[in-house]
Structure 1
Amino acid sequence: MVGKNKLETEKISTLLIEFSVPAMIGMFVNAVYNIVDRIFIGNTPGLGSLGLAAASITYPITLVMIAFGLMVGVGGSTRFSISLGRKETEKAQHYLGNGVALAIIMGLSFTILGNIFIEPILRNIGASEAVLPYATDYLSIILYGAVFQCLAMCMNNFSRADGNPRISMISMLIGAGFNIVFDYILIVRLGWGMKGAAYATIGGQFLSVIWQLAYFTGNRSNVRLVLGNMKLKLTYVREILTTGIPAFLLQIANSALNFIINASLVVYGGDVAISVAGIVTSAVTLIIMSISGLTQGLQPIVSYNTGADRIDRVKQALKLASIAGFIITTTGFLVIQLFPEFVVRLFNQEPEVVALGIKAIRIWTIAFPLVGLQIVWSNYFQAIGEVRLASFLNLARQLVFLVPLILILSSIFGLYGIYAAVPLADLLAFLVSFFFIRKRFPKSKILI
């Protein structure tokens, strides 16, 4: 197996670049799916701030779909990598097949249940009467593409674990490229509004899936997708889901967080505040997705070498990834703090939105340089199979600390209390993650 030998013998810095850079590029571009939609929506007459609010309202639902796709993708690919490290190729084949089957089942469930209950769901997550028609138009179509979204998320993780990170990158580039081009065609040229944005998104996801299926059923993959291995077996399903729980909880926490933020913003700022939150989270997501790509590239290196009992290589990979994560989020912090108006105006030109957006995005990202370290460290524990600790650390930033802080500070300071809660939660989550990483490596310098 070419992939397994490389992961055990290649220089760590070379491996991290080879695996993480394509994943980072791919995840960055993948973030463009949602963000390009918002840019076109926010700058299109007839949509504007109401369209942006609709995209923000529906975002928690999208995150739930991503959560299930990542649970089987990250969980399955982690077990897949560990199996390859232990030279258990047959097990790796079953993890791949069962992971793909689970992604299909989850996607179909979203399509059916989501469209049956779409209106009560949207009302319960904060859609006003003005926003509801826009949100319904968008989400109903996105739900029909849920299978493609879950499959693309799942298989992108497996192709990286198979030793071919470029396949995953190209998959996401194909999807995002289609989305950008057809956003312009369907929204601007044909005037399809929110429906056009949704069709462009699911079209890109469909092409990503076709690309991945061609890879795993062809001769280029090290481990092939075989129909017989897609028959679900309880042992593999349980290990995939339990290992993927931290990634799942992180996205679910993000979804719950967006719901809580939107509910609080409705009370303290209305639809304009929700539009601003959509802008801020879109800008931050671009950077977070890059860190996510970094950790996805790190995962097969850490998982394989853990399975091969090469702890020296694991520590080296973690240290390099920590440095890279800190640099990425610090760079993002500087861009946002120095050019906040430029960032906000990319999404919307309305004076009320721009004025509030500049203040919000600066407060939101005060502690942002620490976020890269926290995400890398928490994902390390997932890569070595320590599910409970990884779950706690993944939840710490977005749920354990942030939700109580939002509720407390908003009751005292109103709208700006919501914004101030974010950097405080980032700081607390960083300190907790640092405690556990230092406990694991008391004599090693993992950046600090």
Structure 2
Amino acid sequence: GGFAAITGLSLNMLLRGEGKMGLAAKYMAAGLCANLLLTPLFIAVFDWGVAGAAWATNLGALIGGGLVWLRYARGRSSYEVDAYRIGFPARLTGGILRLGTPAMIASSMGLVQAIVVFNVLSRIGSEADIAFFGAAWRLMLFMLTPLFGLMRAFQPVAGINFGAGRWDRVQRHYWTFVGAGTAIIVPICVLMGLYPDVVLALLLPGVEFAALDLHRFRVLILVLPVLPLVFTALSLLPAIEQPGKATRVSVTRQLLLYAPVMLLLPQAIGVSGIYYGATAIDFLCALWLLTIVRAAFRSGPGTPGSGSGSGIGPTDPWRAGVPVRG
């Protein structure tokens, strides 16, 4: 299953890199539709149960990726592609690792974060505290789903305009995506803050929530309005060939901030320390990323393909926002 999902998503991202956003969305939708059609067939008709749902998901991903691969195999891409070659070209592997490291670290560090938090809760909290945090965290992840989508959509937009020399568009689209994410998140966040018991009851039905529990939940979601800035920044930096800065923020957040704070603060003030600590760290990282992005926008772009973020001469077409041709 992992092979189909990873291959399908990777091929779809290549298509987005060509600027074919609509076509990439259509191919992904085709895979999702196949999944929806095959799931009841495998479960109800073939009586495969949960395994049937898993196979439907795998085949849906394979179909979505296969459509992209077929396009490359037919030579319809905007650049030359050998769709039948499997391997790791030496001159590309380093760049792939460098640009992909921030996302890899962010994903793996999420596991570290969960291990630390639930171990702390098991020592200083009760089973009810563990269940409550699990529900609150799932709601947070649900709220972040639109941001994951915007993050995926923004990176090719930023990368295409960066490669074309349209630094003005990179900046404008960054703030546009941040604004869109904020417009989506803030109204829902306000409703969740006003009626936290109603929202939490969806995951913990029949539970009576104490006032302290609801306060902790409000503290946890307090950071949601600034997370569009964080997610878009983490997508921007690799797109403009400054992935090291995104990696630095991700590693610092988890290893130098999150782990020590979660091990020390809850011991001092109790379970509430987990919620206060997590929110404070996210606000700090948001401020840090905002500083990095503003500095990058002020200094201007580097040369595409150089991996450098240093500024260049004022006579270069990058400064005027003119497309680079040739």
For 1:347, what is the secondary structure of its paired residue?
coil
Larger radius of gyration: 2
Residues 1:203 and 2:59 aligned together = no
Q: Which residue of 2 is the match for residue 410 of structure 1? A: 266
Residues 1:266 and 2:119 aligned together = no
Say whether the 8 Å CA contact 2:31–2:62 is kept in structure 1: no
Q: Which residue of 2 is the match for residue 240 of structure 1? A: 96
Deviations 1:83-109 (A, max 9, x none): xxxxxxxxxxxxxxxxxxxxxxxxxxx
Match of 2:169 among 313, 328, 340: 313
Residues 1:215 and 2:68 aligned together = yes
Task: Give the Cα separation in 2 of the matches to 1:271 and 1:191.
Answer: 35
Deviations 1:367-419 (A, max 9, x none): 22111112212321111111211212334555543332212211112222112
Task: Give the Cα separation in 1 of the matches to 2:262 and 2:104.
Answer: 22
Q: RCO (CA 8 Å, sep 6+): is it higher in 1 or 2?
A: 1
| Residue correspondence of structure 1 range 124-273 to structure 2 within 5 A | 145-169=1-25, 171=28, 174-175=31-32, 178=35, 196=50, 200-201=53-54, 203-218=56-71, 222=78, 226-273=82-129
* RMSD, matched Cα: 3.4
| Residue correspondence of structure 1 range 35-434 to structure 2 within 5 A | 145-169=1-25, 171=28, 174-175=31-32, 178=35, 196=50, 200-201=53-54, 203-218=56-71, 222=78, 226-351=82-207, 358-434=214-290
Say whether the 8 Å CA contact 2:7–2:65 is kept in structure 1: no
Task: Give the Cα separation in 2 of the matches to 1:359 and 1:205.
Answer: 41
Q: Give the partner amino acid of 2:17.
A: A
Ranges in structure 2 where 5+ consecutive residues have no aligned partner:
301-326
Say whether the 8 Å CA contact 2:31–2:63 is kept in structure 1: no
How far apart are residue 265 of structure 1 and its match? 2.0
Say whether the 8 Å CA contact 1:410–1:418 is kept in structure 2: yes
Deviations 1:39-59 (A, max 9, x none): xxxxxxxxxxxxxxxxxxxxx
Task: Give the Cα separation in 1 of the matches to 2:52 and 2:156.
Answer: 33
Q: Give the partner amino acid of 2:219.
A: I
More helix by share: 1
Q: Give the partner amino acid of 2:292.
A: F
Select between 216-225 and 340-349 the one with higher mean Cα deviation.
216-225
How far apart are residue 306 of structure 1 and its match? 1.6
**Percent of aligned pairs with the same amino acid:** 20
For 2:85, what is the secondary structure of its paired residue?
helix
Task: Report the CA distance shift for 1:405/1:182 in structure 2 as closer, same or farther (over 3 A).
Answer: farther
Deviations 1:242-300 (A, max 9, x none): 11011111111212111211222222335443333332222222232211221221211
Say whether the 8 Å CA contact 2:182–2:225 is kept in structure 1: yes
Task: Give the Cα separation in 2 of the matches to 1:177 and 1:285.
Answer: 26
How far apart are residue 425 of structure 1 and its match? 0.9
Say whether the 8 Å CA contact 1:249–1:394 is kept in structure 2: yes
Q: Which residue of 2 is the match for residue 127 of structure 1? A: none
Task: Report the CA distance shift for 1:281/1:176 in structure 2 as closer, same or farther (over 3 A).
Answer: farther
Task: Give the Cα separation in 1 of the matches to 2:258 and 2:226.
Answer: 15
Task: Report the CA distance shift for 1:437/1:182 in structure 2 as closer, same or farther (over 3 A).
Answer: same
Task: Report the CA distance shift for 1:405/1:206 in structure 2 as closer, same or farther (over 3 A).
Answer: farther
Task: Report the CA distance shift for 1:441/1:236 in structure 2 as closer, same or farther (over 3 A).
Answer: closer
How far apart are residue 429 of structure 1 and its match? 0.6
How far apart are residue 237 of structure 1 and its match? 2.0
